Amino acid sequence: MSVTTTSKPSFSIALVNYKTPEVTAICLELLKKAVNVAEVPVYVVDNNSNDESLAHLKSLDWIHLIERKATAPEVGFMAHGRALDLALEQVTTDYLLLMHTDTLIYDPKIIDILLEKISTSSQIAAVGCLEQVKRPMMATAWRLFIRSVKYYSRKAKEALGIKTREPRLFYEIYLKSFCTLWNAKIIKQNNMSFAMVERIPGYEMQDQLPKLGYQFVTIPPREMFKYLDHIEAGTVSMVNALGSNHKRVKNYQAILKKVKSG
């Protein structure tokens, strides 16, 4: 059953494609089943792929394809952010759903959940998840423990004047863009964008908008991943040609096998 805009706030969808022809095709195939593309604009920005994925995108008459050509070498975060901003410029709806091309939506209910949460207040800038994958409880606890040990050990070294790496928070504080619903009006009204600085797109806005009174709402991973899969760093796995035994590549292949098997 497709999501429509009937009796719901208007929203658009934006994705950035870069050299992932197989997973991009699957992502869009599932997306077309999940939403009513006659009512929901889907913007796909090809980020100078120069491969067969662009030819496939050109064959789809239901997407709004934006071909982005880089004029100079770019770092990954800025390239992705500028691509998202090209889509944002064309968006006329209240909300913008950001997805990665390695986000595979099986149940459109997740979109209804995002819309319901963001529409409860005009001060909510975005709704999403703090984690990119669903981990078992023990794995989550172990990851938190290891990260906290590193964090506090580095803080201790700093206090003692010992040279060390910058301490990184051991818990997540930013919504991840693999499936995040943004209030496009808030972004535009405050003259912000996804490529404001050289950071992961959206992180700078998540630091700045709360200072202006806006809020961010989180959905727990156990809820989010009932309805979709995300191949964490799927683009990195394919583009950088990681070895077949790398855990990211194995995860990539396992999820694709799951999709293809129905």
Question: At 64, is the secondary structure helix, strand, or coil?
Answer: strand
Given a cut of 70, whether residue 249 has pLDDT beyond it is: no
pLDDT in tens, 61-94: 999 999 998 766 676 789 999 999 999 999 999 9
- Say if residues 46 and 28 touch (Cβ distance below 8 Å): no
Cα–Cα distance between 192 and 169 in angstroms, integer? 25
pLDDT at 158 over 70: yes
End-to-end CA distance of the chain: 17
Q: Model pTM?
A: 0.82
* Tens digit of each residue's pLDDT (9 = 90 or more) over 23-75: 899 999 999 999 999 999 999 999 988 888 899 999 999 999 999 987 666 76
Q: How far apart are CA 151 and CA 232, in angstroms?
A: 23
